[in-house]
Amino acid sequence: MAHGFYLVYGLSLCLSLLCALFVVSWSLHWRGGFAWDGSPLQFNWHPVLMVSGLVIIYGNGAVVYRIPSSWKQRKLVCKLVHAGMMLVALLLSGLGLSAVFDFHTSISIPHLYSVHSWVGISTVLLFSFQWLLGLVGFLLPCSPRWFRRSLKPTHIWIGKIVLVLTLVACISGINEKLLLTLDGMSAAAYNTLPVEAVFVNCLGILIVALGTTILGILFVKKWQRPEDCPENTQLLVSESSP
């Protein structure tokens, strides 16, 4: 059972690495690199931070509980790693939003006009709400047991929906950026498929592959952390027994 999990989990780690490499290379190799000065170089942080935060770190944070070796840990350790990764994901996505808002302001482009931006901002708002609800429901010691129990399916459900919305926002955003950038250069219009377009389309496919792999891991029931998983005792005992 664990072999099957680690195979798919290994695939998700490889895809994470590839997504990171592709999205950074796009900005560095074709879009002139990074700055924080209101120029298009500031915009370049937007895809990098959104993909790193909402796809890579969020996706890997979502499957922390599924890693069998983590079941030997106290559940609180898993919770803190999960919440910590999600906080990093949230901060990166906030920074990614501020990159694009600053850029729009500096060159007087209106904010939030496209359906990409409507879905994207809804995703980050839903994710923020989810993180706060998770903090209150699962980490504050005063949260009653009945509340945690009834919150859990909603938390898992919203978690998956945030990932689905992220995929929608990322792919529509990549499509928008390529249309706006490449179609400004007549020699390299998007529909002539210059090398940048092929490379970034592949980034889009890698993001979709990573997202669906993560959703796949979350879908398999037998890979869930067992409800009766001991707080550091039973597994250690069974490991030491013959």
- Neighbour count for residue 164 (Cβ, 10 Å): 13
Measured from the CB atom, the residue of 1 and 142 that comes closer to a copy of itself is 1
Measured from the CB atom, the residue of 150 and 192 that comes closer to a copy of itself is 192
59 binds a copy of itself (CB under 8 A): no
129 binds a copy of itself (CB under 8 A): no
* SS3 category, 160: helix
Measured from the CB atom, the residue of 87 and 121 that comes closer to a copy of itself is 121
Measured from the CB atom, the residue of 122 and 232 that comes closer to a copy of itself is 122
Supply 105's token pair. Answer: 């302001």
Provide the H-helix boundaries in 135-233.
Answer: 145-182, 195-219
Is residue 13 classed exposed, middle or buried when 0-12, 13-18 and 19+ CB atoms within 10 A define those classes?
middle
Question: Tell me, what DSSP letter sits at residue 192?
Answer: G
19 binds a copy of itself (CB under 8 A): no
Question: What x-and-dash track marks residues 138-157 binding a copy of itself by CB under 8 A?
Answer: ---------------x---x
Question: Tell me, what DSSP letter sits at residue 74?
Answer: -
176 binds a copy of itself (CB under 8 A): yes
Between CA 87 and CA 94 the distance in angstroms is: 10
Residue 181 contacts by C-beta under 8 Å, 6 or more apart in sequence? 31
Measured from the CB atom, the residue of 216 and 230 that comes closer to a copy of itself is 216
Q: Which residues contact a copy of itself (rule: CB under 8 A)?
A: 109-110, 113-116, 118-119, 122, 153, 157, 160-161, 164-165, 167-168, 171-172, 174-176, 178-180, 190-193, 197, 200-201, 204-205, 208, 211-212, 215-216, 219-220
